[in-house]
Amino acid sequence: MNGILPLYKERGMTSNDCVFKCRKIFKTKRVGHSGTLDPNVDGVLPICVGKATKVVNYLMDSGKVYIGEITLGFATTTEDLEGEIVAEQKLAKKISVEEIDEAMRALTGELIQIPPMYSAIKVNGRRLYEYARAGEEVERPRRRVSVTYFKQTNSSEFDNERGQQKIYFEVGCGKGTYVRTLAADLGKKLGVPAVMSDLTRLSSGGFTIGQAVKLDDLKEEAAKGGLEKQLFPIDHALKKFPHHTLTEVQWGIVKNGGFLIPKYLHDEKRPTIVLMYKNQAKALYCFNQEKERYQPEQMIDLTEGEI
């Protein structure tokens, strides 16, 4: 089987746990996910099965939407509730809606983020969380990320006794954005320590949470022989690219990794195109301006396919 599964990742599981379980259900090692979700976060986790693993990166490039909660008044080592408290400050009064909105607007667009120490990013061959657990300091790489919007979804709540305030939010962002870092940075904009206290991913890879399937339901479908109908076609990850349906002659060239000339594709020399044959995505070709030809960027499926 080949295709993309919009999985609903439940809390308490790692993304790799989900991949491991899907390998057993689909009875194949060729399974990968497109964008890690922390164990304490639930929501949409697109899973690529079989030849769809070749388009994982294209799924990861799509935007993501999250809803969650930020608590003002303390900060942790992990920037969420899993870490140890490293800073506390009781709020004397509730921060206004206008102040929060202004700080959120300042955290949209192209941003530079410094990822948390407790993250899977590699530095000198080791993941940051490995340095953190060993009590070692290391310079973290600055990352350019994109935040489309960051807004409040409900009235914030102020706990006068604890001196804490909860903000309810929704954020649309691009690849590589750490929402818990965004929460911590919002606190800095407001002049108080902050932590991400709840998070759910609503959409990823063009899938919404309403389309996502739980692992238990997937097991039931497997028992009934209905696994294949849970998979979306590989082409779902490639919808943003222009498509071209290959002739028999062109398919003969493509399956051998050959080049294609734009005029025979009736094409306007677009940077990347998806090549289709018998209703299946077979390859992505990119345009080489210097040599005036299309050449392979990613081969996906070189079998003949079905009409």
Residues recognised as catalytic: 38
Strands (E), the chain: 3-9, 31-33, 42-49, 64-72, 74-76, 85-88, 109-113, 122-123, 126-127, 143-152, 157-159, 164-173, 194-204, 207-208, 243-245, 272-277, 280-288, 293-299
Alpha-helical (H) ranges within the chain are 15-26, 56-60, 97-105, 128-133, 179-190, 215-224, 248-254
200: helix, strand or coil: strand
- Distance from CA of residue 1 to its chain's centroid? 23
Pairing of strands 272-277, 243-245: parallel
Alpha-helical (H) ranges within 171-306 are 179-190, 215-224, 248-254
* Contact criterion met (CB below 8 Å) for 260 and 292: no
